[in-house]
Structure 1
C-alpha cells in the first residue's frame, strides 16, 4: 500500500477486489480504489473512520491537496477514506474505451446494471470488514448522490454505521424518475429567472447565442455538436454558490470582437466544452435516471424521463422563446437521449444508454420500514430550493427516517460542503453529538 505525504496529511492508497455481482460472490471481480487520509502525526492513533461517498452518479472522490475544504474539519476527529465508487477514478473504469470489451450493447447494459447504490454499499461493507474487522463501525459522509447511497446503506447495512452526515442528498424514498423531473423543471426555471434578474444583459446574449446555433452548425474543440439544446444544458451551473457568476462571465466572452462575420469565440467554446462534455464522467450520463428506479415504486422503465416530462413544460422550448421574444430558459441536471449523439464521449454508448432507459424491474434502493426504525444518528443539511435535489422530497424523507435531524439553510447552495471551509460538516457533527 503506497503511502505519501502532503502538507499536514499522510495518504495511503488502498485497492480492494469485490464481486461485480454481489449475488454471485464467486463470479467476476472488479477493483475498487480508495484513498486513506489522516492528519500528519496521527497516523498511529486509533481514530474512528469516516467514509466519504461522492456525488454523481459516476463522480470520483476528491483529489485532496493537504487539509483542503471540508477535509480540514474532518481530520480533527477522523481517519478519512475517499472512495472511488465502482467504475470511477482509479477503480475499474467503465466508459467508451472499456465497455466494448464486455460484448454487445445488451452485455454492456447488463454489466452497468451492477453500478448503482445497492452495489456501491455492498462494496463498502466488504471494505469496512477488511479495514475495521467484522464488528467495526464507521461514520458516513454523503454529498449529493453520496447521500442517496447513505440512505441505501442505512436501509440494508445499518449495523456497519456508527453515525451519518448527509449534505444536499436526501432522496425521495418513493419518487419515480418522472416525479423527480416534474419537480425539477420549475426549480430550474426559478434559478434561471433569478440569474436573469441579477444579470439582465444575459437575456439578449443567450438569445443571440441560440439564434446563432439555430442558423449554423457549431462544433466544440473536441468535435462535439453545440446545438441550441446542448447550450441550454449550461443551466446546470446555476445550482452552485457561484454558478450564476460563472455563467455570466462565460457568456460575456461568447462572440469574437472585431470580425466581420459573427462567430462564437474559441475561449467560449473551450469553456462550454469543459462544462458539457461527459468524457470524464460517462456513468453520470449512463446511470443518471436509473438511480430513481425501484420495482416497488414502479416496475416500469425510467424511459428517458427528463425528455418525456419536458413536454409538460413548453416554456423551455427554444424556438417558442425566440418566436415569442421571451427569455430562453436553460435546463439543469437532466440527461437527454440526444446527448448520446452530440457528445463524442457518449456517442459509442448510445444503444447501451437506450437499453438502460428501457430496463424494467430495478431492485429497490431504500427500505422505508428499516429507515422508520433507524437507530443510527443522522444529521442532514437540506439546502433551501436546492436545484438538484427536491427540498420537499428531502424533508419528507427526513420525517421518515427515525432519529434524523435536518438542518434547513439558504446560506449555501448544493456545493455547501465544498465551499464552506468545513462549517457545514462541523454543524452536522455537532448536531449528531447534541451540541447544536
Structure 2
C-alpha cells in the first residue's frame, strides 16, 4: 500500500465555458455550467466538466436595494464510479440543502454524466491504441476528481472574500471516497464534509475489500432465499434453460445472457427494495419459460438494463482501481480471484454446470469480473484495455493517512452496519483514523438510504453538525 500521500499540484482555476439559467417548477433556479480543466494536471490537455447549480427561485415584491451575498456552496459528489447526477428536482438533497441556506452544486465527475463521458466510441478518438486508452482511463479516478473540484471552486469563488471561499461537500458512496482524497490533498478548500456510506476502506488492499464484501454478499443471499425460498428452484430453472441454449442467449440490445451474468443481479441486494426487484425480474423470466418455453423480449429487457455498464463503462472498468492506493498495488481481477476461491460461488469457474451443483445458486454483489467484458457489447471491445488496467502496478496514491490523522475539517458521516458495498468494520477503522469525525451508525438502513430514507438520513447528518455533545 501507499507509504506517502497523493501528489499535491498547483491547481489553476477552471475556465467557465458557458452558463445558462432556467427556472424549474418547484421554485428552483437551475444554472447549467460547463467548464474546461486539464485532462492531466501534469502533462496538460483539456477536458470538459458539467455541473448544475441550484438555488431557490424567488420573486421579491420590491427589487432588492443591493446585490444579495452569495450563499455557501454544498457540492454533491455522486457514487459509482461512473454515474452522473440526476436532475435537481429529483435529487434528495436539493430541498434540504436549500432550506439550510446552501446553494447546491451537482458536479458530474470527469468521464461521466455530461463531463466528457467515456464510451467505447469516444475512446477510439484517443490516439495510441489500448495503451493510450488505459492511460486515459487511469486519469478518471478520485485524485483527479479532487483536482477538478478545486479548479471549479477557484473559478466560482474567485471574487469572494478569502474566508468564504472554502466550500462544503457531500459524498455518497464513491463520492465519499473522493471526499477522503479531498481531505488528503486540499483540505484548505473545504469547510465541512458530509458522507453517506462513503467511509472508504483506507489502508485496505483490494483483496481485503472483496473478502469482506463477499462475506456480506453471502449473508444477503441467505436472507434473500429465506424471503423467497421458491427462487432456489426458479434460478436453477432459468440457469438450466440458458445452458440448454449453448450457455448464452442473445439480448435485445446486443449483449448475451449467460448463467454468470444472471447471477450478477445480486448487486441489487445492497439497496432498499433490492430483494423485491430481483424477485420480480426472476418471476418475469420464469413466467416466460413456463408459458412459452423461451425467454421473451419483454422478459429480457429489464434484465439487460440491470447494471448499466453499456452506458456507464467507467463503473465496470475502473471499479477495482478505486481501491489501488499507490505504487505497488495491483488489482489483478481481485474480485474474480477472491470469489473463485470460495465454494459458494462455483459458477465463477470455467467448467461450471448447473447439473454439477445442488441447492441455491448464490448471487454476487458489487463485483466486476472478466465475464462482464464478454457479455456487454460496450465492454467487449475494451477487454484488452481492462486487462492492462487490472495489471497496472504504478497507480498514484489516493489518501494521506497522516493528514487524515491530523484533519481539522469537520466530518459528519452516516455508516450502515449491514452495508454490502462498503464494509462496516473497515468504515469504523476509517472513522477512527480521521480526526474530528462524527458518525451516525444504524442497522436499520442500507447503502441506498440517501434515496430511500432521505429525510431520516439527512436529519441525523445535520444533527451531527448542529447538536452539542458535552
TM-score, normalised to structure 1, is 0.95
What is the match of residue 295 of structure 1? 326
What is the match of residue 370 of structure 1? 403
Q: Find the aligned partners of 2:172 and 2:272 in 1 and give their Cα distance.
A: 15
- 1:402-417 aligned within 5 A: 402-417=435-450
1:286-330, CA deviations, whole angstroms, 9 ceiling, x for partnerless residues? 11111011226xx04211111111122121113477534210000
- 1:195-210 aligned within 5 A: 195-210=224-239
Q: Find the aligned partners of 2:291 and 2:156 in 1 and give their Cα distance.
A: 64
Q: What is the aligned residue count?
A: 431
What is the match of residue 152 of structure 2? 127
- On the 8 A contact 1:17/1:31 being kept in 2, the answer is yes
Provide the secondary structure at the position in 2 that maps to 1:422. Answer: helix
What is the match of residue 430 of structure 1? 463
CA separation of 1:255 and 1:311: change in aligned 2, threshold 3 A: closer
Is residue 236 of structure 1 aligned with residue 236 of structure 2?
no
Q: Find the aligned partners of 1:275 and 1:45 in 2 and give their Cα distance.
A: 45
- On the 8 A contact 1:31/1:91 being kept in 2, the answer is yes
Among 65, 79, 87, which residue is 2:111 paired with? 87
1:46-99, CA deviations, whole angstroms, 9 ceiling, x for partnerless residues? 311001000011111122326x52322111121000011001111112110100
- 1:11-410 aligned within 5 A: 11-24=30-43, 27-41=44-58, 44=68, 46-65=70-89, 68-77=91-100, 78-103=102-127, 104-133=129-158, 135=162, 136-216=165-245, 217-257=248-288, 262-295=293-326, 299-318=328-347, 319=352, 322-410=355-443
Provide the secondary structure at the position in 1 that maps to 2:51. Answer: strand
- On the 8 A contact 1:56/1:284 being kept in 2, the answer is yes
Provide the secondary structure at the position in 1 that maps to 2:389. Answer: helix
Q: Find the aligned partners of 2:375 and 2:354 in 1 and give their Cα distance.
A: 23
1:104-152, CA deviations, whole angstroms, 9 ceiling, x for partnerless residues? 0001011111110000000000101111138301101000000000000
- On the 8 A contact 2:439/2:464 being kept in 1, the answer is no
Q: Find the aligned partners of 1:147 and 1:348 in 2 and give their Cα distance.
A: 31
Deviation of the 1:270 alpha carbon? 0.4
CA separation of 1:198 and 1:44: change in aligned 2, threshold 3 A: farther
CA separation of 1:311 and 1:19: change in aligned 2, threshold 3 A: same
Provide the secondary structure at the position in 2 that maps to 1:36. Answer: strand
Rg comparison, structure with higher value: 2
